Amino acid sequence: MSFNKYEFVKLSKAVSHALRHEPWLYELELDEQGWVLIKDLLTALRSHQLEWNNLNQDDIAQMIVTSSKKRHEINGNHIRALYGHSVPGKLLKKKAEPPEQLYHGTSSSILNRIMESGLLPMGRQFVHLSVNIDIAEQVGRRKDEQPAILLIAAKEAYAKGINFYVGNDTVWLADNIPAEFISRSRMGAGLVK
Q: Same structural domain for residues 107 and 182?
A: yes
Q: Same structural domain for residues 72 and 130?
A: no
Work out how many domains the chain is built from and give that number: 2
Q: Same structural domain for residues 43 and 109?
A: no
- Asked if residue 166 is part of any domain, the answer here is yes
- Asked if residue 96 is part of any domain, the answer here is no
- Supply the range of the domain harboring residue 46: 5-81
- pLDDT of 53 above 70: yes
Length of the chain in residues, anyone? 193
Q: Same structural domain for residues 61 and 118?
A: no
Kindly compute the dihedral angle of the four CA atoms of residues 80, 83, 84, 87, in this order, to the nearest 10 degrees: 50
For residue 187, the model assigns a pLDDT of 53
**Which DSSP string do the residues of the chain spell out, in sequence order?**
----HHHHHHHHHHHHIIIII-GGGGT----TTS-EEHHHHHHHHHHH-GGGTT--HHHHHHHHHH-SS--EEEETTEEEE-S---SSSPPP--B-PPPS-EEEEE-GGGHHHHHHH-B--TTSSSEEEESSHHHHHHHHTTT-SS-EEEEE-HHHHHHTT--EEE-SSSEEEES-B-GGGEEEEEETTEEP-
Q: Same structural domain for residues 111 and 180?
A: yes
pLDDT tens track for 143-179: 888 899 999 999 999 999 999 988 777 789 898 999 9
- pLDDT of 180 above 90: yes
For residue 88, the model assigns a pLDDT of 66
Q: Same structural domain for residues 77 and 107?
A: no
Q: Same structural domain for residues 75 and 107?
A: no
